Amino acid sequence: MEAKASLPLKMRMLLFLLHAATKSAYRPNGTVNRRLLNLVDLKAPPNPKPFNGVKSYDVSVDPSRNLWFRAFVPTDHCSPGYLPVVVYFHGGGFVTFGPDSRPFDALCRHLSGSIPAVVVSVNYRLAPEHRYPAQYEDGFEALKFLDDNPQELPENADLSRCFIAGDSAGGNLGHHVAKRACESQFQQLRVQSYGGRTHLSWLPRGHVTSLSGFEVPAAATGVLQSPSLTFAKGKSDNLTRSYEQIVEAAVFCPNLLPPDLIVATYRRKRSPRLPLLSLFPMSSPFVSDVAGAPLAVAVAVVIGLMALQPFFGGEERTESEKKPVGSLMLSVKQTDWYWRTFSPRGEGWDRDHEVINVSGPRAADISRLDFPTTLIFVGGMDVLQDWQRRYYEWLKRSGKEVSLVEYPDMVHGFYAFPELPESKQLILELSKFVNMQMERHCYSRFNSVPVYRYLQLVDQQWEEEATAAEERHATLVKAFHPMLVVHPEDGDGEDQSPHMAFLSDFKGYTN
């Protein structure tokens, strides 16, 4: 009772009304009164014009299953850099609510402006009309849609820095979508982590990507184990603008690619071997044009999972489930009903299935997966808190990087009430988590532009910088002088020092 008394009166009244309405709408036979639920689920339209510094718009993914998302874009973001993308899955026991529900519209808007980030709130199919695995299929399909249709997001949205977030049932959904994403290949969206990883990988999915004059072969695979860059060219090539852009990115943007960690290889061959394995193993990214060597750029990537009081369970009754405290917002009777309506019929399911009890005896082995760094929020008055703590411990045992934040006096879903100080603090924690992960990434601290986009910016400024070519040339020679290596072709007939070979070709181009 003491914990309940610490909640504002307005919040307790709203919780009571919501609890009464949902109790009446949830029928014992596992069906729902949608009309009654819609009465208490007040909707918010999208805001094409900024509201509280954030604009929003809706995008249809698959009309046949009512799969769509609402994108929130911060407009007060003054930095010229690119923004991370947060894919958000709302809560509601898999049964109710959506991105246009007022609490979740406000939450995602606040999150978008605070980080800042482009937040994509997904509308997935609801139970009991659509049981498992419909929700998980929709969640993953939303990621695939973003990967295949990046034009649906603002130009400054960077899908190579994608985070997944979700609350309650959405936290459960986010976990399983992140797990599946770790096993998949994307074109734009990158799924990587720092949870015990020793490498970063880049795996294009059957396509060719143009990179400021370069091309990425569809079958190319690059793995980065150390921050080094291999720069190669063929004898028949002249130094092109793209070559200098690559080197400029290394030398003139030290926060992007530190010069002391770059290996420059100048290979003079008419038909260079592919992919120069005799010199460097494929543990380094190769940068060249199609005549020099295959391009396999391991662009620094980050992804995080943010689980707000995730909805997990099991056959066992935990200590927190036995206590009545906090049951006004969510009770054990409700959670049992949610799981019954969510689970498929006639397949012998119970609450120890791996999608419900993710840390239980039938839990999936994720120890070999590049599972994202995870942040978990727990409320001390939440009946689900023991399952959330077990999730935290399971991720640690699996060798993943995970943190837990607890709010001792908070009930389930407290983040939906912005007037609570704890709700404001949670937003700050989420923002801090995203930005900390960003800082751990190999991006320019000035504008957070990834390598390929930095090169595009250099290309746009090329004419303005042409007068400084000689100065750049001198700087490049000085920076790369001790690292230049030449492997002359047999029978080439030329006796030229490696430094002079590089110098003569480069100077001829810059002049």
Residues taking part in catalysis? 168, 382, 412
CB atoms within 10 A of CB 142: 24
R_g (Cα) of the chain, nearest Å: 26
Residue type, 178: A
Q: How far apart are CA 246 and CA 235, in angstroms?
A: 18
Residue type, 494: E
Find out whether 72 and 109 touch, Cβ atoms under 8 Å.
yes
Q: How far apart are CA 76 and CA 67, in angstroms?
A: 29
Q: How far apart are CA 122 and CA 97, in angstroms?
A: 11
Q: Report strand pairing: 230-231 vs 263-266.
A: parallel
Q: Mapping DSSP to helix (H, G, I), strand (E, B) and coil, where does residue 84 land?
A: strand
Size (the chain), residues: 511
Q: How far apart are CA 272 and CA 486, in angstroms?
A: 12
Q: Mapping DSSP to helix (H, G, I), strand (E, B) and coil, where does residue 145 land?
A: helix
Residue 119 in tokens = 């937040």
Find out whether 442 and 36 touch, Cβ atoms under 8 Å.
no
Find out whether 354 and 363 touch, Cβ atoms under 8 Å.
yes
CA proximity to 119, closest of 170, 64, 62, 168: 170
- Phi and psi dihedrals of 286, rounded to 5? -100, 135
Q: What angle is formed at CA 326 by the lines to CA 322 and CA 328, rounded to 5 degrees?
A: 110
- Phi and psi dihedrals of 11, rounded to 5? -65, -40
Q: How far apart are CA 477 and CA 499, in angstroms?
A: 8
Find out whether 388 and 382 touch, Cβ atoms under 8 Å.
yes
Residue whose structure tokens are 């923004």: 83
